[in-house]
Structure 1
Amino acid sequence: MNQRRLLDTTDLAILALLYQDARLNNKDIAEQVGLAPSSCLERIKKLQLDNIILGSKLEVNLQTLGGNIQAMISVKLSDHNRATVDRLQKQWLTLAEVLSIYHMGGDIDFFVHVSVADTSHLRDFVFNQITAHSEVSHVETALVYEHSRSNTLPNV
């Protein structure tokens, strides 16, 4: 059974700092939360061991790499069995254009967030990688004008 670990205010403060900037070093975190560096490091290791901290990600300016257009591709499937969903998601995640995939409930089965060089690249990607699958029954593409991410730890 997956039991939720109760986090105290110090754990939450550590998480909030790392969520805001995962590059912070242990000494700076310890100072900001009022712990000795060794105690802070032990808490961070425990948060990792308990799968509360799953890793950290690098944010890249995609335009410097030629990703001039981002889009969200909504995908409806005609076949909703688990094997199909898992296979498509796994396959699409290997594609260089794919930034993330959201498996959805409701009318849309997937949102596929992509970065491409230009509109021709986007069109070819949709035709060759998305609609080429017989299980895909409908696709709509929306351009992303701007993407922002909160750096505040959610209060759930």
Structure 2
Amino acid sequence: MSIHSERGGTFSQEPNNSRHPILDETDRLIIQLLQADARMPNNAIAAAAGVAPSTCHGRIRSLQDRGIIRGFHADVDPAAVGRGLQALIAIRLHAHARANLTEFEKYLAGLPAVESIFFVTGDRDFLIHVAVADSGALRELVAANLSLRPEVAGTNTTVIFEYIRPTESSPAA
């Protein structure tokens, strides 16, 4: 099936994933360039992709509208802003609480220490990446916030010694 975009261009939908249409080579290149440097100017992206700046701008807007580009953000080192202790906390919910996952997700998202939230399979329901000032703040987060929630059956905390984000120069696995 082909769909014509109001911003120009036609794309096909994948039969097994209608939420994200198949991307053409220009879209893929634009995404690759933005992943490498989200601050890259539109005219530089356009030149690298071989399209006019207005076309490039339209494609980026379309990628955003379609939910493929979810946002642009600054990657800040938590230690530089006083949150040098990072951990992964696995959370298991009581069976009856699974009916209100959205509410619990909103609660987690509202905690200032939470960097990322993962809804996972296995014997745990959520895995959250947190960054806090020190071990006291981590203990407070787990003992006074998470463990006291009525829907939480248990937690398991793993301290992160080092967080390494792969870059383009990193060898592929």
TM-score of the superposed pair, with normalisation by structure 1: 0.88
Task: Report the CA distance between 1:14 and its aligned residue.
Answer: 0.4
Question: Who is 2:45 aligned against?
Answer: 29
Question: Who is 1:48 aligned against?
Answer: 64
Q: Tell me the SS of whatever aligns to 1:75.
A: strand
> Structure 1, unaligned stretches of length 5 or more?
none
Q: What fraction of aligned residue pairs are identical, expressed as a percent? A: 35
CA distance in 2, matches of 1:6, 1:29: 20
Report if aligned partners of 1:19, 1:151 keep a CA contact under 8 Å in 2.
Answer: no
CA RMSD in angstroms, aligned pairs only: 1.7
Structure 1 residue aligned with 2:98, among 71, 74, 81? 81
Task: Report the CA distance between 1:10 and its aligned residue.
Answer: 0.8
Report if aligned partners of 2:20, 2:68 keep a CA contact under 8 Å in 1.
Answer: no
Structure 1 residue aligned with 2:163, among 138, 147, 150? 147
Q: Tell me the SS of whatever aligns to 2:57.
A: helix
Higher relative contact order (CA 8 A, sep 6+): 1
Q: For residues 63-121 of structure 1, what are the alpha-carbon distances to aligned partners after superposition, in whole Å with 9 as ceiling and x for unaligned?
A: 121101000001111134231x2222111211111111111111111111111111111
Task: Report the CA distance between 1:134 and its aligned residue.
Answer: 2.3
> Structure 2, unaligned stretches of length 5 or more?
1-16, 169-173
* Count of residues paired in the alignment: 151
Report if aligned partners of 1:72, 1:112 keep a CA contact under 8 Å in 2.
Answer: yes
Q: Tell me the SS of whatever aligns to 1:45.
A: helix
Report if aligned partners of 1:48, 1:54 keep a CA contact under 8 Å in 2.
Answer: yes
CA distance in 1, matches of 2:36, 2:167: 5
